[in-house]
Structure 1
Amino acid sequence: MTRKIAVGIVVYHAGVELLRRLELTSADGIEVYVFDNSPDITNVRELAEHHPGIHYFTCGKNLGLGVGISTVCANAHQQGYAALLFFDQDTGYNSKTLSYIENNYVNNIDAYKNFSAIAFKAGGEALVQDVPLLINSGSLYFLDKLKTLNWLDCSYFVDSVDYKLCLDSLNKGYRIGSCGNTPGFDHVTEQADSRYRIAGRTYSMRAYSWSRIKDTVSSNIKLIFSAIKSAQFGFALRITKLLAVYCAFQALVRIFNTLGLFKRD
């Protein structure tokens, strides 16, 4: 173990760019832990067979993010890592991204002892600040804290996996952080969003499938009740507002697409 962090990714129908990033990460000497939710497509498994630094896991079917992230984190922890940097499969990064986050971690180990996770992103200041919520992609997970939380909640499939971790951390007294100005971090280019020009401003939106909307709504409602049950009423209110905004945008983007409103890039 020469590097201080590992990288984890959960894949589903992996594309060429993801395979390139996996090779890049392994070539940089960073161990990669991959959970494959589409094992019938063999490209990731075949890549791992030729790269000892890429550790491949699957359960033979799509079990979602909760199981996938828990698996890569638990295995990295078992093999001696204290921190794992997680990326969505459609998040771009490069060697500078990995070095920046690793150096940030090494230089601040003592300062981060009460954090369960810190989300790194492209925009904002290069300063860690406490935040109430974070998303999975770009998050550096501190594995001893996640083990105490019994990893991520595997009853969540895709949506709200990250927000449930935030609630669990809040209940346990762990901090959640965010740090900006991360070089090479790209959570935009490979996203399937369309751009809409409204009142001089550009908005990125996507019309999700009805099954995805159903999962989002049901997961958020479940999370809201979990927050209320643990007397985290401010957290419950925050998720309620986010869910209302999400539903409003899903309605708007369908209206825009149907009527052909506003210029799209």
Structure 2
Amino acid sequence: MEWIVLICIGLLAGTVGSLVGLGGGVIVVPALIYFGTYTGWLDNITPQTAVGTSLMVMIFTGLSSTLAYLKHKTVDYKSGLIFFGGSGPGAIIGAWVNKYLDLEDFNLYFGIFMIVMALILMVRNKLKPIEKFKSASFQREFTDPGGQIFHYGYPPLMGALIALVVGFTSGLFGIGGGSLMVPAMILIFMFPPHVAVATSMFMVFLSALVSSGTHVALGNVKWLYALALIPGAWFGAKLGSYLNTRLESKALVSVLRIILILIGIRLIYQSITG
């Protein structure tokens, strides 16, 4: 039973995470905590093992979707490496801070973070991009499959600092960080949406490598659970990247933000009631 549950969690996380650039941790972490702590279907799940195991899965989700997006030539790998310069150290710091959180504290902070992510998803398409970085020092150009050319740019230091915050939340909560990075790339730096999602998944892959390594050193990875989650996440990520190039993801994002709010409220309630 537990293997079926884990494979389904991985498939859902990979598909949703790759489609909207979240990485899938927003599905894996609360699912592991719920099935491990409140149903007893999974054994010995703590906030630390949920986060460590999630980040191990994010390596394969990020790699699978990045390889798929590379075929469509939508990954801005130079920008991804610049962002990783900030997200890498942030992921290590977040992973170390995570070990000091008990279940109640983790539920509270993660619940608040989930609601914040839902609000970001709610407003990100209603805000107008900031034009000022069009003439920033680092300039990029992207031509989509239809031949349309996009120009965008940003100060590398600012990009790395934003990514530092994203990396910290990734290491702390076991999520990909795309929920913060994708809106930042689109609204602040004027990335084309498909490029932002694809580049976010590339950064998710690199950050997960670093933060999961820290969690492995701390003994926070449940290897058998990770092995069950990875196949579903791998194929789910390929499905999500396929759908991203062919479908409008507005309906899924709308459903996702409702789910995030409900999960966030539940986690906060559980932290208060113990």
Using the size of structure 2 for normalisation, the TM-score is 0.24
- Indicate the structure with greater helix content: 2
Using the size of structure 1 for normalisation, the TM-score is 0.24
- Indicate the structure with greater strand content: 1
Q: If you compute each CA radius of gyration, which structure gives the higher value, 1 or 2? A: 1
Select the structure with the greater relative contact order (CA < 8 A; seq sep ≥ 6): 2
